Amino acid sequence: MRKSIAIVLAGLLASPFIISIVNPGQRVLEVYNPAGVQVDGIFVDKLLKKTMRELGGTRPPLAGYFPEVRIEKIPVKKDAFTEINDLFYKRGWTDGLPIIPPTKERVKEMLTGADLSPDFVIGKVDPMAGQATVEKIAINAVMAGCLPAYMPVLIPAVEAIADPEFNLRGMATTTNPDTPMLIIGGPISKQLDINSGRNALGRGWKANATMGRALHLIINNVGGSWPGVTDMSCLGQPGEFAMCLAENEETNPWEPLHMELGHPKAASVVTVIGAEGIHNIPGIGLTSEGYLKLVADNLVGMGRPHRSVVLLIIAQDTAAILERGGWTKKKIRQFISKNALMPFSKYKERFIDTGIARLLGGVPSCVFETKDPNAMIPVPFIDQLLILVSGGPGEKSMLIPGWMGSKAISKEIRLPANWRKLLSYVKQSRNSL
């Protein structure tokens, strides 16, 4: 009898849920709290609950109902996974999809991906200024399904979205359908098996899906960007679940994106932009100029007089055709800027008479002084036109306009001392599929 009890207890202690018996028939699951805490010690959920009630909202139904502790002991009856998911969903801590419960064991393992103290603050995440400690990043990374080796990417990604010039506060509260997008370049993209080929922005790739998802959970939980409470997007967009890809450096005929952004070629870099949406640019049957004119025409039709950032993802086959024709990134940008034009008469009707040009800013004063109705005006005025080569074979490129008030922010990825060991787990995960 004693031997049987010992075997049962050993099995419970080895469980990834770290379950302890409180009394016969009752178990307790110890999980980390993923919610953000402001510098004064106030949980962002408490403020979100107040805002939700003031707006007359009722979702999430258990907003703010939790003990204000780092690690919570939660009684479970039968299915711990299902019960924790149901509880976290009702508290507003998930994206609607199932999460991995952030148990002590799992969070401890995730923290091996960083050689920083768990309480080290990477930055304040808007809109509620929750402190993104290394531990909070790890908790949400566990929930998203990440491997510990993804932490070196997530930490600078959080640092990037916390940069004031990224303007996460505006992006996380706007009525626009904007979302942060991760772009990874350099050696780490291959080491972590981040997809840069077929379906790079689609499903079916663990690194892309879970790192993109983790960043959005951090914004939701640590930053307090709750749909209908602080996030007022009219429609939202699917990229809020995950939006992450790598540069296809093997097929890129030009210098990599991270070099253009000021980083050494050998560096591993994460770049974050505020993506508004995606627009397919098919290049099949078009000449190089025909393709670039199509890009310009699409830009003109996007309904904004100014863009802080526009990302043009050029498919590898189209990139090869352009390169053979002598097109460089500089020439591509020059051509697009000279062809993305609108007659002033139409520009005035759309942007000046409506007040949009002055409201959104970024339009040179000379445009407002124009008198000739046939004068051609650039649309939009672009601060940063980024060009990225990614995706598999084919000529289906993509245009991604950035949110008007946000700049592209890039950060170099620093590898922890145990990097080789972390990569061995990545290989195991890949080979076990």
Residue from 274, 280, 133 nearest 216 by CA: 274
User: Does the pLDDT value for residue 430 go beyond 80?
Assistant: no
State the average pLDDT over residues 379-408. 95
Q: What is the mean pLDDT of residues 389-400?
A: 96
pLDDT tens digit string along 298-315? 999 988 999 999 999 999
What pLDDT, on the 0 to 100 scale, is given for residue 404?
82
| pLDDT number for residue 122 | 98
Structure tokens at 247: 């540069």
Length of the chain: 433
Q: How confident is the model at residue 26 (pLDDT cuts 50, 70, 90)?
A: low
pLDDT in tens, 76-103: 998 999 999 999 999 999 999 999 999 9
- First CA to last CA across the chain, in angstroms? 40
Structure tokens at 23: 């009394």
Q: Work out the average pLDDT over 118-133.
A: 98
Structure token pair of residue 180: 């942060």
* Averaged pLDDT for residues 149-164: 98
- Is the pLDDT reported for residue 1 higher than 50? no
Report the C-alpha gap between 173 and 179 in whole angstroms. 11
Residue 129: pLDDT over 50: yes
- pLDDT at residue 17 is higher than 50: no
**Tell me, what's the pLDDT at 16?**
41
Are 189 and 196 in contact by the 8 Å Cβ rule? The answer is yes
pLDDT exceeds 60 at position 20: no
Peptide bond into 60 cis (omega under 30): yes
CB 125 within 8 A of CB 168: yes
Phi (first) and psi of residue 190, to 5 degrees: -75, -40
Average pLDDT in the chain: 93
Does residue 259 surpass a pLDDT of 80?
yes
* CA 300/CA 45 separation, integer angstroms: 41
Q: What is the pLDDT of residue 18?
A: 40
Query: What does the pLDDT look like over 209-236, one tens digit per residue?
Result: 999 999 999 999 999 999 999 999 999 9
Per-residue pLDDT band for 192 (boundaries 50, 70, 90) equals very high
Burial 120-156 (b: 16+ CB within 10 A, else e): eebbbbbbbbbbbbbbbbbbbbbbbbbbbbbbbbbbb
pTM for this one? 0.92
pLDDT band of 72, cuts 50, 70, 90: very high
How many Å apart are CA 172 and CA 120, to the nearest integer?
24
Given its phi and psi angles, is residue 303 left (phi above 0), alpha (psi -120 to 50 degrees) or beta? left
DSSP β-bridge partners for residue 131: 124
The percent of residues in the chain predicted with pLDDT above 90, rounded, is 90
C-alpha distance from residue 269 to each of 185, 255, 402 (Å): 5, 14, 19
CA distance 347 to 344: 5
Tens of pLDDT, residue by residue over 339-356, are 999 999 999 999 999 999
Which residues, other chains included, contact 239 with Cβ-Cβ below 8 Å and sequence gap of 6+? 179, 181, 275, 278
pLDDT mean over 156-168 = 98
Bigger pLDDT: 390 vs 15: 390
Mean pLDDT along residues 174-190: 96
**pLDDT value at position 14?**
37
Adjacent-strand bridge partners of 6: none
What is the predicted pLDDT for the residue at 2?
43
